[in-house]
Structure 1
Amino acid sequence: MMNRPPISQHRDRLGTHQPEWLDHTPLGIFIHWGAYSVPSWAEPHGELGTEPDERTWFTHNSYAEWYFNTIRIPDSRASQYHHETYGSLPYDGFLDMWHAEKFDPDDWTELFKEAGAGLVVLTTKHHDGITLWEAPETYGRNTVQRGPRQDLVEKISRATRRAGLRFGAYYSGGLDWHYRPFPVILSEKDLELLARSVDPEYGRYIFNHCLDLFERYHPDIFWNDIEWPDCAKNFDAHGLGTLLEHYYKLCPEGVVNDRFGEFHSDYETSEYQAMRDSEAADRWENCRGIGLSFGYNRMEGNEHYLTGPSAARHLVDVVSRGGRLLLNVGPHADGTIPAPQRACLKGLGAWMRAARAELSHPSAELLEQACSLPGARLMSHGDHAVLFALENVAVPLDRLPAEFDWRSSRPGDGQTQVSHDHGVLTTAPTQLGSGIILAKRFH
Structure 2
Amino acid sequence: MTWFRDAKFGIFMHWGAYAVPAWAEPIGELGTFDSTYWFSHCPYAEWYWNTSQIEGSPAYQHHQSTHGGRPYDDFLDLWHADLFDPNDLAALFARAGARYVIPTTKHHDGITLWDAPGTGTRNTVHRGPRRDLVADLAGATRAAGLRFGVYYSGGIDWYAGRRAVIRHESQIDDHGRANEAAYAAYALAQVQDLIARYQPDVLWNDIGWPDLGLDDLPELFADYRSAVPDGVVNDRWDGTHSVRPSVSYDFLTSEYQANRGNEGAGPWENCRGVGYSFGFNQAEGPAHCLSPAAAVRLLADVVSRGGNLLLNVGPRSDGTLPPRQRAVLEGMASWMAVNSVAIHDTRPLEGAVPGETPWLRWTRTDDHAYALLADAAGEVLLPHSAGLIAPVRLDGKPLTAHAVSAGTAISLDDVGTLPVVIRFRLSA
| Pair 1:439 & 2:421 matched | no
**What residue number does 1:155 align with?**
136
| Pair 1:324 & 2:308 matched | yes
Task: State whether residues 131 and 141 of structure 1, in contact with CA within 8 Å, keep that contact through their aligned partners in structure 2.
Answer: yes
**What residue number does 2:36 align with?**
55
1:240 corresponds, among 201, 217, 226, to 217
Cα RMSD (Å) of the superposition?
Answer: 2.1
Structure 2 letter corresponding to 1:271: E
Structure 2 letter corresponding to 1:440: R
The 2-side partners of 1:250 and 1:429 are apart by 52
Secondary structure in structure 2 of the residue aligned to 1:24:
helix
1:314 corresponds, among 295, 298, 303, to 298
The 2-side partners of 1:286 and 1:96 are apart by 33
Secondary structure in structure 2 of the residue aligned to 1:147:
coil
**What residue number does 2:6 align with?**
24
Relative to structure 1, is the Cα distance of residues 269 and 426 closer, same or farther in structure 2, using a 3 angstrom cutoff?
farther
The 2-side partners of 1:55 and 1:133 are apart by 34
Return 339-348 or 416-425, whichever deviates more: 416-425
The 2-side partners of 1:159 and 1:355 are apart by 25
Structure 1 letter corresponding to 2:391: S
**What residue number does 2:352 align with?**
369
The 1-side partners of 2:286 and 2:98 are apart by 23
2:70 corresponds, among 67, 89, 98, to 89
Relative to structure 1, is the Cα distance of residues 259 and 50 closer, same or farther in structure 2, using a 3 angstrom cutoff?
same
**What residue number does 2:257 align with?**
273
Matches within 5 A, 1:17-416: 18=1, 20-51=2-33, 53-234=34-215, 239-260=216-237, 261-262=242-243, 263-360=247-344, 363=347, 366-367=349-350, 369-371=352-354, 375-392=359-376, 396=381, 399-405=383-389, 408-411=391-394, 413-416=395-398
Structure 2 letter corresponding to 1:84: S
Structure 1 letter corresponding to 2:210: P
Structure 1 letter corresponding to 2:29: E
The Cα of 1:369 is off from its aligned counterpart by 3.4
Relative to structure 1, is the Cα distance of residues 427 and 39 closer, same or farther in structure 2, using a 3 angstrom cutoff?
farther
> Which ranges of structure 1 fall in alignment gaps of 5 or more residues?
1-17
Structure 2 letter corresponding to 1:306: L
Q: Deviations over 1:348-403 (max 9, x none)?
A: 01111111112256656x34635567621111222221111143387645x31212
Give the structure-2-normalised TM-score.
0.92
Structure 1 letter corresponding to 2:16: G
Task: State whether residues 376 and 416 of structure 2, in contact with CA within 8 Å, keep that contact through their aligned partners in structure 1.
Answer: no
The Cα of 1:439 is off from its aligned counterpart by 1.5
> Which ranges of structure 2 fall in alignment gaps of 5 or more residues?
none
The 1-side partners of 2:398 and 2:279 are apart by 40
Relative to structure 1, is the Cα distance of residues 23 and 418 closer, same or farther in structure 2, using a 3 angstrom cutoff?
farther
Task: State whether residues 360 and 381 of structure 1, in contact with CA within 8 Å, keep that contact through their aligned partners in structure 2.
Answer: no
Which portions of structure 1, spanning 4 or more consecutive aligned residues, are displaced by more than 6 angstroms? none
Q: Deviations over 1:61-91 (max 9, x none)?
A: 1100000000011111101011011113100
Secondary structure in structure 2 of the residue aligned to 1:408:
strand
Secondary structure in structure 1 of the residue aligned to 2:195:
helix
Relative to structure 1, is the Cα distance of residues 372 and 160 closer, same or farther in structure 2, using a 3 angstrom cutoff?
same
The 1-side partners of 2:46 and 2:158 are apart by 12
Identical aligned residues as a percent: 46
Aligned length: 416
Task: State whether residues 177 and 210 of structure 2, in contact with CA within 8 Å, keep that contact through their aligned partners in structure 1.
Answer: yes
The structure where strand makes up a greater share of residues is 2
The 1-side partners of 2:212 and 2:162 are apart by 18
Structure 2 letter corresponding to 1:249: S
The 2-side partners of 1:90 and 1:418 are apart by 65
The Cα of 1:431 is off from its aligned counterpart by 6.1
Relative to structure 1, is the Cα distance of residues 417 and 174 closer, same or farther in structure 2, using a 3 angstrom cutoff?
farther
The 2-side partners of 1:418 and 1:111 are apart by 36
Secondary structure in structure 2 of the residue aligned to 1:153:
helix
Secondary structure in structure 1 of the residue aligned to 2:392:
coil
Structure 1 letter corresponding to 2:4: L
Task: State whether residues 386 and 438 of structure 1, in contact with CA within 8 Å, keep that contact through their aligned partners in structure 2.
Answer: yes
The 2-side partners of 1:322 and 1:228 are apart by 28
Secondary structure in structure 2 of the residue aligned to 1:111:
helix
Task: State whether residues 267 and 281 of structure 1, in contact with CA within 8 Å, keep that contact through their aligned partners in structure 2.
Answer: no
Structure 2 letter corresponding to 1:334: D
Task: State whether residues 102 and 150 of structure 2, in contact with CA within 8 Å, keep that contact through their aligned partners in structure 1.
Answer: yes
Q: Deviations over 1:295-343 (max 9, x none)?
A: 0000001222212211111100000000011111100000111101111
Relative to structure 1, is the Cα distance of residues 376 and 226 closer, same or farther in structure 2, using a 3 angstrom cutoff?
same
Secondary structure in structure 1 of the residue aligned to 2:425:
strand
Relative to structure 1, is the Cα distance of residues 210 and 418 closer, same or farther in structure 2, using a 3 angstrom cutoff?
farther
Task: State whether residues 391 and 423 of structure 2, in contact with CA within 8 Å, keep that contact through their aligned partners in structure 1.
Answer: yes
Give the structure-1-normalised TM-score.
0.89
